[in-house]
Amino acid sequence: MRTQNSVGSARRRHFGTAALSLLVAAHPAIVTAQEPVTDPRDTTHSQKQAPFFTAKDLVLAGGFVGATVLMFPLDKRAAAALLDSGTQTNRLFKHASTDVEIIASPGAYFIGAGLYTIGKIGKYDRVADLGWHGTEAVLFAQGVTTLLKGVVGRGRPFLSNGTDPGDYHLGKGFSSGDWSSFPSGHTSTAFAAAAAVTNETTRWWPRSTWVVGPLMYGGATMVGLSRMYHNRHWGSDVLLGAAIGTFSGRKVVQYVHGHPGNKFDHFMLRTSVIPDGHGGAYVGTSIPLP
């Protein structure tokens, strides 16, 4: 018979495996965040010449797919590690996990809107870019995630107390939140924001990748682990959510800078609010001439 300490050690190892899988999958996103630039103030030319999907993207996708597949047989064990009484009663884990979830959702939307507003009012173009493009990435990731949740219809861990990761009912995710476990929405939001911020700031300051990337992706990883800790998602849910979010953030930033004339950016980033001196304001935007 195994002692309680040996059981606890085994569960911690399984939890460590889940955390390591998520970090390993995210690592290529940090390494490949830097895109080729010619001018830190205006890099649209290089983006137009570069292919939209590259070998780096293939490596990144392969890392996430591989980690997700490897995680499926470990879902049950990872859930058991996080549902362990010692882990659940840890006050630091409890508070930290709740805080990072709130920062991810709905926090990501408020942070994006705040940066956009500050950028527009203060005429800080880069700050407005960051807020708007981060929000675009989050919205796109959430759209993909919501669709998959509804179609796959995977039961959340709390339905079986973390014992049945193979409970699927196709289409049921559209009608019940309890059957919308796969993939994790909080995780896709966190990773979309992390990828957008990392790639956007890298365009201004290429060396920032090695500072901003680990901070942003590390925080996003904590969000994914917190969803497992709260028994809301399986490990494989979190890994796929991380993949969706990472690609959303990377590709949104790449696309908008490669297509500076797209309608959404033109409206959101070229619109100005000018006080009229009588308590009101004028709203105007520039119109590109042929």
Q: What is the pLDDT of residues 59-114, one digit of tens each?
A: 989 999 999 999 999 999 999 988 887 777 777 777 788 888 998 989 999 999 99
Q: Which pLDDT band, with edges at 50, 70 and 90, does 152 fall under?
A: very high
Distance CA 45, CA 38 (A): 8
Q: What is the CATH number of domain 43-65+76-270?
A: 1.20.144
Q: Which pLDDT band, with edges at 50, 70 and 90, does 7 fall under?
A: very low
Reduced DSSP (H G I as helix, E B as strand, rest coil) percent helix, strand, coil of the chain, to 5: 70, 5, 25
Residue 272 φ then ψ, to 5°? -120, 145
Contact yes or no for 183/144 (Cβ under 8 A): no
Residue 66: its H or E element: helix 55-71
DSSP 73: G
pLDDT tens string 10-53: 555 555 555 555 555 555 555 555 554 444 444 444 444 568 88
For the ranges 139-143, 149-153, 269-273, the lowest mean pLDDT is seen at 269-273
Three-state secondary structure call for residue 2: coil
* Number of Cβ within a 10 Å radius of residue 40: 12
Instruction: Identify which of 170, 105, 95, 179 has the alpha carbon closest to the alpha carbon of residue 138.
Output: 105
Instruction: Identify which of 114, 64, 91, 90 has the alpha carbon closest to the alpha carbon of residue 224.
Output: 64
Three-state secondary structure call for residue 234: coil
Contact yes or no for 149/176 (Cβ under 8 A): no
Answer whether residue 252 shows pLDDT above 80.
Answer: yes
Q: What number of helices (H) and strands (E) belong to the chain? A: 12, 2
* Number of Cβ within a 10 Å radius of residue 284: 11
| pTM, entire model | 0.80
pLDDT tens string 160-188: 999 999 999 999 999 999 999 999 999 99
Alpha carbon separation from 205 to 133, 134, 197 (Å, rounded): 17, 17, 12
Residue 29 burial (10 A CB sphere; 0-12, 13-18, 19+): buried
SS (HEC) of 125-185: HHHHHHHHHHHHHHHHHHHHHHHHHHHHCECCHHHCCCCCCCCECCCHHHCCHHHCCCCCH
